[in-house]
Amino acid sequence: MINFPPELITYLKKATRVVVLTGAGVSQESGLSTFRDAQSGLWAQYRPEDLATPRAFARDPKLVWDWYAHRRESAKGASPNLGHYALVEMENRISEFTLITQNVDGLHRIAGSKNILELHGNILNVRCSECGMFADNWEDDLESVPRCEKCNALLRPDVVWFEESLPREQLDAAVSATRACQIFFSIGTSGVVQPAAALAHAAKAEGAVVVEVNAEPTPLTARADFAFHGKSGEILPELVKAVWG
Ligand code: OAD
């Protein structure tokens, strides 16, 4: 059992504006790989520049398509864990609650979270690489990448790659919610990818209480007001119980 500091419990009981930023660690207990964990992280096995950039897609679209198709199947096969559900419970208790996620697996929505900003897109969606039209129906074949029904360009996953901009509306909404919040949680993220990583620091600069929940210390830990190191699927349900019973 975790002994949460009484000040944190009081802050949360009174809070009306809370922002939560999540990363791959939140889905780790759902069986999905993180990016930077030393042994099991995706970037320990693959090079991002081979798979997650526009240049990689231009060079070898089939390799990139297949890698995302494989990850899409893993995401579809995964279920939310207790950490995702604890965040739904938190949203139910707090009047202005914003969940900003870097995750593309869609598990927060499946769990029941509502006010979600998906900063890096959603791997379950596919769109045209040229005209941007979303595709619901495509034939996967062994040889080639499926093409857009409208303009015949290649389809791609609706995720943000390195060197690409984040969706403007989602980012603006994330920044506004961050500036206005009283408590900012950074959960299951290594906090090294911008601009998401800057949000916790922006919240702190505006006077918010910053709370980290992560398997291990991160560059944010020293600046956080409270830091809990362990599994989010264990810490978050305990925290929700400690605050709201
Ligand atoms: P990372 O893999 O960089 O970080 C995941 C963090 O979660 C690490 O600090 C782990 O220690 C921690 N962690 C692992 N298991 C956990 C658990 N059960 N409970 C709590 N924490 C746990 O993933 P992100 O920070 O999400 O971007 O990575 C940010 C972005 O980098 C991703 O969205 C992706 C990647 O490249 C794009 O693809 C654009």
Q: What is the pLDDT of residue 168?
A: 96
Token output for 76: 């579809």
pLDDT digits (tens, 9 = 90+) for 144-174: 999 999 999 999 999 999 999 999 999 999 9
Q: What is the pLDDT of residue 209?
A: 98
What's the pLDDT band for 138 if we cut at 50, 70, 90?
confident
What's the pLDDT band for 143 if we cut at 50, 70, 90?
confident
User: pLDDT exceeding 90 applies to what percent of the chain?
Assistant: 91
Residue 220, φ and ψ in degrees, nearest 5? -80, -25
CA dihedral 164, 105, 142, 149 (to 10 degrees): -60
Q: What is the pLDDT of residue 45?
A: 87
Q: Is the dihedral of CA 91, 94, 97, 102 positive or negative?
A: negative
Q: What is the pLDDT of residue 139?
A: 82
Each residue of 141-154: b (16+ CB within 10 Å) or e?
eeeebbbbeeeeeb
pLDDT at 39 over 90: no
Q: Average pLDDT, stretch 99-117? A: 98
Q: How far is the CA of 6 from the centre of ligand 1 (A)?
A: 29
Q: What is the pLDDT of residue 113?
A: 98
List of residues 6+ apart from 149 with CB closer than 8 A = 133, 135
Q: What is the pLDDT of residue 38?
A: 81
Q: Average pLDDT, stretch 39-56? A: 90
Q: How far is the CA of 142 from the centre of ligand 1 (A)?
A: 31
pLDDT digits (tens, 9 = 90+) for 73-107: 999 999 999 999 999 999 999 999 999 999 999 99
pLDDT at 1 over 90: no
Residue 23 Cβ inside 6 Å of ligand 1? The answer reads yes
Could you confirm whether 120 is annotated as catalytic?
Answer: yes
Bridge partners (DSSP) of residue 100 are 21, 117
Question: Which of 84, 155, 160 lies closest to 121, judged by CA?
Answer: 160
pLDDT at 40 over 90: no
Residue 130 in contact with residue 153, Cβ under 8 Å? yes
Runs of H (alpha helix) within 78-185? 82-93, 107-111, 168-180
What is the C-alpha separation between 75 and 16, in angstroms, rounded?
Answer: 32
Q: Average pLDDT, stretch 10-27? A: 98
> Which of 189, 221, 239 to mutate to test ligand 1, by most ligand atoms within 8 A of the CB atom?
189
Q: Is the dihedral of CA 237, 238, 241, 244 positive or negative?
A: negative
Q: How far is the CA of 5 from the centre of ligand 1 (A)?
A: 26
Q: Work out the mean pLDDT of the chain and round it to a whole number.
A: 96
| First-last CA distance in the chain | 14
Residue 104 Cβ inside 6 Å of ligand 1? The answer reads no
> Which of 68, 214, 221 to mutate to test ligand 1, by most ligand atoms within 8 A of the CB atom?
214
User: pLDDT exceeding 70 applies to what percent of the chain?
Assistant: 100
What is the C-alpha separation between 39 and 20, in angstroms, rounded?
Answer: 27
Residue 63 Cβ inside 6 Å of ligand 1? The answer reads no
Q: How many residues does the chain have?
A: 245
Q: What is the pLDDT of residue 163?
A: 93
pLDDT at 44 over 90: no
